[in-house]
């Protein structure tokens, strides 16, 4: 699957699941909306990723990496609380983010091989 498609799926998952977590919480924290905000930025970057704009693609990779790192603390928190719905949401966000990161790396490798062959 193309990197821009995986990034789009990741952005939509981040927006949907982190918003769901925020609005379904009895004690919502604004920090729960960080993945939503980054998901919106990833949506904005998606056209540039699709057209293979290097700068925008690298910005999207950095945002994706930040989300991946940033979801580690919520993962440990949901495990400690034993909240299975929250754990499910965080795990899905982690998996789609990891998938997007792998797709970006594969895309960069393919682009480099293509450049080297020319």
| pLDDT over 90 at 116, yes or no | no
- State if pTM tops 0.75: yes
Which sequence spans correspond to the domains of the chain?
3-112
CA distances from 75 to 7, 47, 72, 84, 88 (A): 21, 30, 5, 11, 9
Which pLDDT does position 46 carry in this prediction?
A: 96
| pLDDT 10s digits, 44-71 | 999 999 998 999 999 999 999 999 999 9
Closest by CA to 5, choosing from 47, 54, 39, 36, is 47
């Amino acid at each position: 699957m193309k990197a821009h498609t995986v990034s789009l799926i990741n952005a939509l998952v981040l927006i949907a699941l982190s918003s769901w977590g925020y609005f379904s919480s009895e004690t919502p924290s604004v920090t729960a909306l960080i993945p939503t905000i980054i998901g919106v930025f990833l949506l904005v970057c998606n056209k540039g990723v699709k057209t293979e704009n290097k700068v925008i693609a690298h910005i999207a990779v950095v945002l994706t990496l930040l989300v991946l790192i940033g979801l580690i603390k919520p993962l440990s928190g949901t495990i400690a609380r034993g909240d299975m719905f929250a754990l499910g949401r965080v795990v899905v966000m982690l998996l789609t983010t990891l998938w997007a990161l792998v797709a970006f790396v594969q895309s960069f490798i393919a682009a480099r091989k293509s450049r080297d062959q020319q």
